[in-house]
Structure formats: structure tokens, C-alpha cells
């Protein structure tokens, strides 16, 4: 009997060998060097490792496939823009082992699904296209031509193009992403869900509405010049390590850092720059000035408390708000103030879980400074009221006139290395009409104006059998999405699932009736085409577009580039009905950039500008106080205080990343900065909450979430007592995704609320 989709999707429940210590007091430094070197030496060829470490994030080198943190415009460290987790990302991508026909002949899909995610990831790089026929137990090799034709046959057999889903993960370069969305639109649908739907979608929504651009407004230079940087719901020590260098520069220039987070993340407390040998010896720089241990989802309450006190001061002294800015550039001030006055300071502070003394320390800093930057990530975007979270912090910046001037503004810190670029070039299920009009003008076909599926809609669509083909350009859909069991059935309902991937992952094992794995080149590999080795481009979190060019030989001669995959499938599917010469693009990616220049704003002279060593900035209205909103001004917004009514035995759970993972890719089994080793199935709990439930350290528990009457369960988690506010707890993603309800998501943005899941904890 073969396994059910749910069984194949399940993460391994076996325990490893949990060891817990006190979290370290300092981040990066020698520990980070050691950890990166261990990983690199274990999984990469030594010659590759050397090449990589000198070229990563260098001008004219290749863009790290890790996070989207920008590279400095001017000086870049001689040691390389070095980062522990960047090197781990490289060690993972440039693994020396490869897998192909003999590996898949040996291991059935059922067997592979029993491996842990760590084991699956370490099996090696995918080296040739593989096909799982209907009813088969093992993947078998297939030629590229046959693979393209299989996809084409399935797509052309659908009743309507809207029965196909085209997912993207944010590593795809601008060139591949542009062609992909162009193919999908010419084929006839807008079903373009992407990882952004689970990530910064709420930031995009909130910022577009209030400031007229769905991206942040600051540059790296602003961060250095800020008087205050607030880091809210973000763990840069693990997820954006190079941000710590920027924060250190800000501190050295006299800036203050306020950290708002239920966890005292070590990276933000003290940092030893790996590029400063002297600092390594002397113990590093203290980063955070005030740490605010807010309760999970207590952010709107905390920001409202600040806004209320600022208003009170403004009413007595008249010199707190930037009235000139408010008068000239904003809209909605009166309604916002009227609404704010309905709230009581004490209620807000209480709801935030923050002490009066900590509040006062923060308030003092905000009151006395006017160059404020607010940085944030998933701690704000993965809640039901995520859009409110972000709009509320914009309200604070607007009152202080802290936008569109040096050292001030918004800084949503993006996740995947090109997630921002993908959206810029058209990976969007709800693309603006102006963009669609340009596509029509350029290519002569009319793209559908109907909005397509986001991630959550796509899962519903497949579950209801309204979508029948799933195509993923990168990513690991089943492990990244909420509600693992339900989503596994959704994928299994498809006629065909296809993944363009560098590495084996669980999504290759939770298949439709037939399945394809299409292996592609990674960022670090040379992309040989007719016109020579290709350069591609990516956009970082601060809107800088720069080039990336591989330096290693491809791990196999049977893998091809993402651009070549997209062109091959488009050509096979659309044949003569296409208005586009698909195969020409793959010979010379400069042709793709010429098209992007015509269709997407801000890319004038793309090919020429890409040759500039640091790349070029895309236009950004908010940065220069041109707010392209409906009112033509920056808009104040009205945001409700969320009401949390937990039952006595309930906790709010956030699902977070350990130090040794990149999303669903598990680099290792440790979470060094939190003092957890050799285990991922753990739940961090407040010690009082453990006591009131009679739970011991390392006790094995079952977790249950209940939402809209549906109970979801996850077995075998070990309790770890931790410094976390009461009634709050944390687990790692993807292990806890079975507990994340599909129907619990951010209003208007549809980001799964994976940071605020109500659970109960039960002794096993």
C-alpha cells in the first residue's frame, strides 16, 4: 500500500538528541566563522569554496542566493561581503554530490518521504530531469524534449488556462521571472502565486495604500545616518546577518537602536564584526539600546501607546509633530487623530505586554529624534492584522515627518534574494492594469485582466479540483504553505505537478497523478548559451538592481538554466499560436532585458546600466516625497487594536526560523543563538506557563490548534523553557505548519497568520 499524500508531506517525528544551553551573549565573531567553515568543508569541493568566498556579493561577482539584504554601494570589505549564513546557503547550493537516475531507481518516492528534511536536502544536487508516471513508485529519467512536451500536453488539455497554477519562489532572476510571467499571461491566466504571498504581501499592501509604493523607502546610507532605527519583528542575526554591520555603523555614528520582539534575539544584542579582527578580540559592539519584549501581536498596541503619548505632548507643547510635513504631504490627519483619541494609553500599554519603564525609555528616544527608520520582517507580516501593523508604524513616521529625507523612512527587510525583483517584473497575480496594457502594446496579445490565485487561493483551487496542473519555478510549496495535511491533498488532486529545482525537496514527493522534476542551474554556476556566458540581474531589498554571473562549472551537463526551461515550455505549449519568438531569448538574455526596459518602469538603458559595478537604483516616489496614492498624498490610516481573548489553557504560537535553516532547507540541526542543539521538534515556552501546566523541561508534548471549529494536531515536540513573554510560545517552521490554519490569514493581503496561532499543549 503506498503512503497517503498526508504521510508523504509529514516532517519526520523522530527525535535526534536535544541539548539545551544558555543562549550566547554575543553573535557572529569566531562562532560564525567556525560554523560556516564546517559547513563549507563538509559539503563543497575545496576549489569551489575558495572561488565562492572571494566572489560572493562582490562587484562583478554573483549575488548570494540567501537573503535580499543590499550590498554597500561603495566600499566592500576585502574579506568579501562575508556572512555565515550566506556561506551556508552556498555550501548547500554548490554541494559536491549529485543525484540522478540511479539514485531515484534505488529510492522510491515513499521511501524518500520517510527521510527527514535535513537528509533530503543533503542528498545532493539534482542532475537530470526525472518523471514519475501515473501509478509508478519511482521517478525515472526523461529527456528535456519529452519533459517539455509532457507539460505542454497537460496544459493544452485543460478546459481553461485558469486550471493551471504557476508558483514562483523568490530566487528566480529578473530575466527568468519576466519570461515566466509573460508565458503564463500569453498562455491565458494570471494564476501567479508566489512566496511573497506568504511573506511581505502585507507590507506591499500597507505601503502602497499609505505611501504609494509597495517597497521600502530607505537606502543603506540612510541606515548609517539614522538617529533611531527600530527593528520590529525581525531576527537579522540569523536571517540578514549583513544588516548587523549596517546597524553597527549607525551606532558608531551615534544612532540608537530599539528592538521590538518577544524574543531577545542574540544577534541584535551584541555583534562582533567578522571583518574586524580587533573587535573579535575585544568582544564586539552592543547594538540594542532598548529591548522591548512585546507580546506576540502586541505591536499595534505598543505603537498606539507611543502615538497617544506623542499626541499628548504635542497638545501641551506644540512642537512634537512635523506640522509642515503633515500639512504639505499628508492626508487623513484629522480622522486619524479623532480615532486615536478613543483609545486609552493604559489599555494599549497593557495589551502590548510592555512595562512602563521600558515604554518610557523608548518614548524618550522617539520624542527627541526626527530621523527614524523602522525595519521589520515576518514578526509583523504574518498576522491576521498584518496590514494594520505596518500602517500603524507608517502613522508614527508621518507624524514625525520621518520619511523622504536622509536617515529616515520605511525598511521592510525582504526575504529571498530576488523576491522584490520578481514582483517588479510582473510575478503578480493582481498586476496593475497599466502593466498589462504595456504587455498588450508590446506583444499584441491581451492578457487576462481577471486576478489570479494567490497561494491560499491556489491551494483551495487544487483541493476543489478547479486547478489541475501545478508548476513551481523554485521553492518547496508543500513545506512552505500552511495546513500541511490539507495542502498535501490539494497537490495530490492535480493531474500533473512540476518543479524546477536545484535540490530535492518534499514537494517532489507529494505529487499529482504524474510528476516532473526539472533540475536547473544555481546562482553560482556559469550559464553557457549561444552568445556566451550569461549575466542575469536581481533587485535587493532597497530597490537596487545589480548583475549576477556564475563562476562555478555546472554540477551536471544535463541541467539547464531557468530561462531555458521557461523558453522550452513556452515554445512547446504555445507553438504557432504564440506571438513571441521564445527560443531567441535563451540564446542571449540581453534581449530579455530589452523587453523589460520597454514594459517595466524604471529600467531605461537596462543593459548599459547593469554594467555599472554597483548596479542602479529603481525610482522610488516615497524616497523623494512623491506619494503616488489615490489622494496624491501620504495617507494616515485608522487601525484597530486587536482583541485577544485566550481561554485559560491557550497560548499564542509563532512559527520561526532556526539559525541553521533557509526556509524549508535545513542546513543543520542547531539553533546556536538560542542555545538549542540537535533538535528541531521543540516548543519554546515561558517557564510560568510550563509550571501552570505541570510540564517539565524536555517533556514530550502534543500541540493542538483550533480554528473555526477545526482541530489540528502535531505530535512529538519537546518543551524548552525560554525567556519569552507569558502566553506566548514558539516552534520552528516547517515542522509546525500542520497547525497553521489555511483560513487564518491577513485581511486584504492573505498572508497566512503563521506568527499567531492559538494552540493548547498536551502531555503525550
Ligand X SMILES: Nc1nc2c(c(=O)[nH]1)N[C@H]1C(S)=C(S)[C@@H](COP(=O)(O)OP(=O)(O)OC[C@H]3O[C@@H](n4cnc5c(=O)[nH]c(N)nc54)[C@H](O)[C@@H]3O)O[C@H]1N2
Assign 537 to helix, strand or coil.
strand
Report the partner that residue 304 touches, choosing among ligand X, Mo ion, none (CB closer than 5 to 8 A by kind). none
Partner whose binding site includes residue 755, from ligand X, Mo ion, none (CB under 5 to 8 Å by kind): ligand X
Minimum CB separation of residue 263 from ligand X in Å reads 4
Q: Which does 726 bind (CB under 5 to 8 A by kind): Mo ion, ligand X, none?
A: none
- Among Mo ion, ligand X, none, residue 235 binds (CB under 5-8 Å by kind): ligand X
Minimum CB distance to ligand X smaller for 401 or for 475 = 475
Binds 242: which of Mo ion, ligand X, none (CB < 5-8 Å by kind): none
> What is the closest distance, in whole angstroms, from the C-beta atom of residue 628 to ligand X in the complex?
26
> What whole-number distance in Å separates Cα of residue 457 and Cα of residue 283?
49
SS (H, E, C) 86-110: HHHHHHHHCCCCEECHHHHHHCCHH
Nearest approach in angstroms of CB 200 to ligand X is: 7
- Selection from Mo ion, ligand X, none that 566 binds (CB < 5 to 8 A by kind) is none
Spatial contact of 203 and 413, defined as CB atoms under 8 Å apart: no
Nearer to ligand X, 322 or 679 (CB): 679
Q: Nearer to Mo ion by C-beta: 404 or 415?
A: 415
| Position closest to Mo ion via CB | 415
Query: CB–CB of 511/132 below 8 Å?
Result: yes
Contacts with 629 (C-beta within 8 Å, 6 or more apart), sequence order: 208, 209, 210, 211, 212, 331, 635
143-182 footprint of Mo ion as x/- string (CB under 5 A): ----------------------------------------
Question: Where does 381-527 show beta strands of DSSP type E?
Answer: 409-412, 469-473, 496-501, 514-519
State the binding partner of 12 from Mo ion, ligand X, none, CB within 5 to 8 A by kind.
Answer: none
Query: What's the CA gap between 664 and 235, in Å, rounded?
Result: 17
Least distance CB 661 / Mo ion (angstroms) = 12
CB of 685 to ligand X, least distance (A): 14
Q: Give the length of the chain.
A: 764
Give the residue with the Cβ less far from ligand X, 333 or 428: 428
Q: Least distance from C-beta 257 to ligand X, angstroms? A: 14
> Which candidate, 234, 266, 379, places its Cα nearest to that of 32?
266
Site for Mo ion in 410-449 (CB under 5 A): 415
Query: Could you tell me the end-to-end alpha-carbon distance of the chain, in angstroms, rounded to an integer?
Result: 28
HSE at residue 469, side-chain half, CA atoms within 13 A, is 23
Instruction: Tell me which residues in 177-216 interact with Mo ion (CB under 5 A).
Output: 199
Quick one: CA dihedral 151, 153, 158, 162, positive or negative?
positive
Contacts (CB under 5 A) with Mo ion, residues 315-344: none
Least separation in angstroms between CB 239 and ligand X = 3
Cell digits for 690? 510550563
**Per-residue b or e along 146-163, where b marks 16 or more CB atoms closer than 10 Å to that residue's CB:** ebbbbbbebbeebeebbb
Distance, in Å, from the CA atom of 37 to the CA atom of 56, rounded to the nearest integer, reads: 15
Q: How far is the CB of 294 from ligand X (least distance, A)?
A: 5
Output 188 or 415, the one with its CB closest to ligand X. 415
Nearest-angstrom CA–CA distance, 174 and 616: 14
- When the beta carbons of 452 and 474 are compared against ligand X, the nearer one is 474
Nearer Cβ to ligand X, position 291 or 321?
A: 291
Q: Which residues pair with 517 in a beta bridge?
A: 130, 499
- Choose between 49 and 566: whose C-beta lies nearer to ligand X: 566
Kindly state the smallest distance separating residue 305's Cβ from Mo ion, in Å: 29
Which strand (E) or helix (H) includes residue 51? helix 46-55
Give 572-581's long-range contacts (Cβ < 8 A, gap of 24+). 572/148, 572/149, 572/151, 572/152, 573/151, 573/152, 573/155, 573/156, 573/183, 573/187, 574/183, 574/186, 574/187, 578/186, 579/186, 579/443, 579/444, 579/445, 580/182, 580/186, 580/443
Please report the beta strands in 295-390, taking only residues with DSSP state E, as ranges in sequence order. 330-331, 372-376
Question: Least CB distance from residue 378 to Mo ion, whole Å?
Answer: 7
- Of the two residues 657 and 726, which places its CB atom closer to ligand X in the complex? 657
Partner whose footprint covers residue 67, from Mo ion, ligand X, none (CB < 5 to 8 Å by kind):
ligand X
CB atoms within 10 A of CB 50: 12
Q: Which is nearer to ligand X, 423 or 523 (CB)?
A: 523
Query: Least distance from C-beta 71 to ligand X, angstroms?
Result: 15
501 is in the binding site of which of ligand X, Mo ion, none (Cβ under 5 to 8 A by kind)? ligand X
Q: Which does 401 bind (CB under 5 to 8 A by kind): Mo ion, ligand X, none?
A: none
Q: Taking the complex as a whole, how short is the minimal distance between the CB of residue 94 and ligand X, in angstroms?
A: 11
* 655 touches, from Mo ion, ligand X, none (C-beta below 5 to 8 Å by class): ligand X
Q: Which does 171 bind (CB under 5 to 8 A by kind): ligand X, Mo ion, none?
A: ligand X
Closer CB to ligand X, 294 or 365, in the complex: 294
User: Judged by CB, which is closer to ligand X: 296, or 564?
Assistant: 296
CB of 260 to ligand X, least distance (A): 5
User: Using the rule CB under 5 A, is 386 a contact of Mo ion?
Assistant: no
Beta bridge partner(s), residue 706: 711
Looking only at residues 101 through 120 of this chain, which bind Mo ion when binding is defined by CB under 5 A?
none
Does an H or E element contain 117, and which?
helix 117-121
Which residue, 194, 196, 263, 724, is CA-closest to 474?
Answer: 194
Neighbours of 348 (CB within 10 A): 24
Instruction: Please report how close the Cβ of residue 47 comes to ligand X at its closest, in angstroms.
Output: 21
CB of 184 to ligand X, least distance (A): 16
Task: Give min distance, CB of 468 to ligand X, in A.
Answer: 20
DSSP secondary structure letter of residue 426: T
Query: Beta-carbon neighbour count of residue 587 at 10 Å?
Result: 16
306 binds, among Mo ion, ligand X, none (CB under 5 to 8 A by kind): none
Scanning the structure block, which residue is given the C-alpha cell 499609505?
Answer: 210
The residue among 402 and 420 lying less far from ligand X, judged by its C-beta, is: 420
Name the residue among 387, 377, 382 with its Cα closest to residue 482. Answer: 382
Binding mask 261-280 for Mo ion (x = CB under 5 A): --------------------
**Vertex 278: Cα angle to 272 and 284 (nearest 5):** 25
Nearer to ligand X, 166 or 325 (CB): 166
Least Å from the CB of residue 223 to ligand X: 16
Q: Which residues pair with 501 in a beta bridge?
A: 519
Identify which of residues 309 and 755 has a Cβ nearer to Mo ion in the complex: 755
CA distance 277 to 21: 27
The residues facing 752 across adjacent strands are 745
Among Mo ion, ligand X, none, partner that 537 touches (CB below 5 to 8 angstroms by kind): none
Nearer to Mo ion, 199 or 566 (CB): 199
Reduced to 3 states, what is the DSSP secondary structure of residue 432?
coil
The site for ligand X (CB under 6 A) is made up of 65-67, 85, 169, 171, 195, 198-199, 232-235, 238-240, 260-263, 265, 294, 296-297, 299, 377-379, 382, 415-416, 473-477, 480, 500-503, 505, 520, 522-523, 562, 654-657, 661-665, 733, 737, 740, 754-755
294: partner contacted, choices ligand X, Mo ion, none (Cβ within 5-8 A by kind): ligand X
In the bound state with ligand X, the residue whose beta carbon lies nearer, of 609 and 681, is 681
Binding site for Mo ion (CB under 5 A): 199, 415
Amino acid at each position: 500500500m503506498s503512503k497517503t499524500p498526508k504521510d508523504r508531506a509529514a516532517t519526520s517525528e523522530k527525535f535526534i538528541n536535544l541539548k539545551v544551553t544558555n543562549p550566547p551573549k554575543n553573535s557572529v565573531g569566531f562562532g560564525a566563522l567556525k560554523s560556516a567553515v564546517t559547513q563549507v568543508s563538509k559539503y563543497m569541493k575545496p576549489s569551489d569554496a575558495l572561488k565562492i568566498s572571494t566572489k560572493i556579493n562582490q562587484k562583478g561577482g554573483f549575488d548570494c542566493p540567501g537573503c535580499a539584504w543590499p550590498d554597500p554601494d561603495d566600499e566592500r570589505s576585502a574579506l568579501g561581503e562575508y556572512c555565515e549564513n550566506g556561506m551556508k546557503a552556498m555550501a548547500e547550493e554548490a554541494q559536491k554530490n549529485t543525484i540522478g537516475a540511479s539514485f531515484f531507481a534505488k529510492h522510491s518516492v515513499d521511501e524518500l518521504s520517510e527521510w527527514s528534511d535535513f537528509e533530503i536536502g543533503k542528498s545532493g544536487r539534482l542532475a537530470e530531469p526525472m518523471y514519475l508516471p501515473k501509478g509508478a513508485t519511482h521517478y525515472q529519467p526523461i529527456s528535456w524534449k519529452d519533459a517539455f512536451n509532457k507539460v505542454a500536453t497537460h496544459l493544452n488539455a485543460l478546459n481553461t488556462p485558469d486550471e493551471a497554477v504557476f508558483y514562483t519562489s523568490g530566487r528566480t532572476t529578473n530575466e527568468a521571472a519576466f519570461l515566466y510571467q509573460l508565458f503564463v499571461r500569453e498562455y491565458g491566466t494570471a494564476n501567479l502565486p508566489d512566496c511573497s504571498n506568504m511573506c511581505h504581501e502585507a507590507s506591499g499592501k500597507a505601503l502602497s495604500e499609505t505611501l504609494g509604493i509597495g517597497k521600502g523607502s530607505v537606502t543603506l546610507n540612510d541606515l548609517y545616518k539614522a538617529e533611531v532605527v527600530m527593528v520590529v519583528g525581525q531576527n537579522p542575526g540569523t536571517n540578514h546577518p549583513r544588516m548587523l554591520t549596517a546597524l553597527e555603523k549607525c551606532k558608531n555614528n551615534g544612532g540608537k537602536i530599539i528592538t521590538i520582539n518577544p524574543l531577545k534575539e542574540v544577534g541584535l544584542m551584541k555583534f562582533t564584526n567578522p571583518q574586524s579582527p580587533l573587535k573579535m578580540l575585544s568582544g564586539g559592539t552592543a547594538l540594542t539600546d532598548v529591548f522591548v519584549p512585546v507580546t506576540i501581536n502586541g505591536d499595534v498596541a505598543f505603537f498606539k501607546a507611543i502615538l497617544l503619548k506623542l499626541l499628548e505632548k504635542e497638545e501641551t507643547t506644540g512642537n512634537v509633530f512635523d506640522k509642515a510635513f503633515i500639512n504639505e504631504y499628508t492626508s487623513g490627519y484629522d480622522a486619524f487623530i479623532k480615532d486615536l483619541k478613543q483609545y486609552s494609553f493604559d489599555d494599549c500599554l497593557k495589551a502590548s505586554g510592555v512595562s512602563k519603564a521600558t515604554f518610557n525609555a523608548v518614548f524618550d528616544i522617539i520624542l527627541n529624534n526626527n530621523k527614524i527608520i523602522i525595519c521589520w520582517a515576518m514578526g509583523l507580516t504574518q498576522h491576521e492584522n498584518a496590514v494594520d501593523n505596518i500602517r500603524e508604524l507608517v502613522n508614527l513616521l508621518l507624524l514625525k515627518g520621518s520619511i523622504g529625507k536622509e536617515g529616515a523612512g520605511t525598511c521592510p527587510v525582504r526575504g529571498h534574494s530576488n523576491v522584490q525583483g520578481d514582483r517588479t517584473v510582473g510575478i503578480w497575480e493582481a498586476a496593475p492594469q497599466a502593466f498589462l496594457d504595456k504587455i498588450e502594446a508590446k506583444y499584441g496579445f491581451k492578457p487576462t485582466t481577471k486576478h489570479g490565485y494567490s497561494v491560499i487561493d491556489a491551494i483551495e483551487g487544487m483541493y476543489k479540483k478547479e486547478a489541475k496542473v501545478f508548476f513551481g519555478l523554485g521553492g518547496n510549496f508543500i513545506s512552505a504553505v500552511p495546513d500541511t495535511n490539507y495542502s498535501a491533498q490539494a497537490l495530490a488532486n492535480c493531474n500533473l505537478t512540476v518543479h524546477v529545482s536545484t535540490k530535492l525537496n518534499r514537494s517532489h514527493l507529494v505529487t499529482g497523478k504524474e510528476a516532473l522534476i526539472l533540475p536547473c542551474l544555481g546562482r553560482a554556476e556559469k550559464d553557457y548559451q549561444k552568445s556566451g556566458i550569461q549575466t542575469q540581474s536581481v533587485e535587493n531589498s532597497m530597490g537596487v538592481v545589480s548583475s549576477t554571473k556564475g563562476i562555478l562549472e555546472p554540477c551536471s551537463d544535463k541541467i539547464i538554466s531557468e530561462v531555458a526551461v521557461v523558453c522550452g515550455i513556452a515554445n512547446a505549449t504555445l507553438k504557432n499560436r504564440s506571438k513571441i519568438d521564445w527560443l531567441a531569448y535563451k540564446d542571449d538574455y540581453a534581449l530579455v532585458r530589452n523587453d523589460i526596459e520597454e514594459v517595466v518602469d524604471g529600467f531605461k538603458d537596462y543593459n548599459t546600466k547593469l554594467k555599472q559595478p554597483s548596479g542602479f537604483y529603481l525610482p522610488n516616489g516615497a524616497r523623494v516625497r512623491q506619494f503616488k496614492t489615490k489622494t496624491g498624498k501620504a495617507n494616515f490610516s485608522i487601525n484597530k487594536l486587536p482583541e485577544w481573548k485566550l481561554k485559560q489553557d491557550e497560548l499564542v504560537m509563532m512559527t520561526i526560523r532556526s539559525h541553521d535553516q533557509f526556509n524549508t532547507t535545513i542546513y543543520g540541526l542547531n539553533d546556536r543563538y538560542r542555545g538549542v542543539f540537535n533538535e528541531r521538534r521543540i516548543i519554546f515556552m515561558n517557564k510560568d506557563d510550563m509550571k501552570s501546566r505541570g510540564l517539565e523541561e524536555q517533556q514530550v508534548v502534543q500541540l493542538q490548534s483550533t480554528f473555526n471549529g477545526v482541530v489540528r494536531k502535531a505530535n512529538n515536540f519537546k518543551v524548552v523553557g525560554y525567556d519569552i513573554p507569558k502566553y506566548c510560545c514558539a516552534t520552528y517552521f516547517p515542522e509546525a505548519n500542520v497547525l497553521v490554519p489555511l483560513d487564518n490569514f491577513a485581511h486584504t493581503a492573505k498572508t497566512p497568520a503563521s506568527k499567531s496561532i492559538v494552540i493548547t499543549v498536551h502531555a503525550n
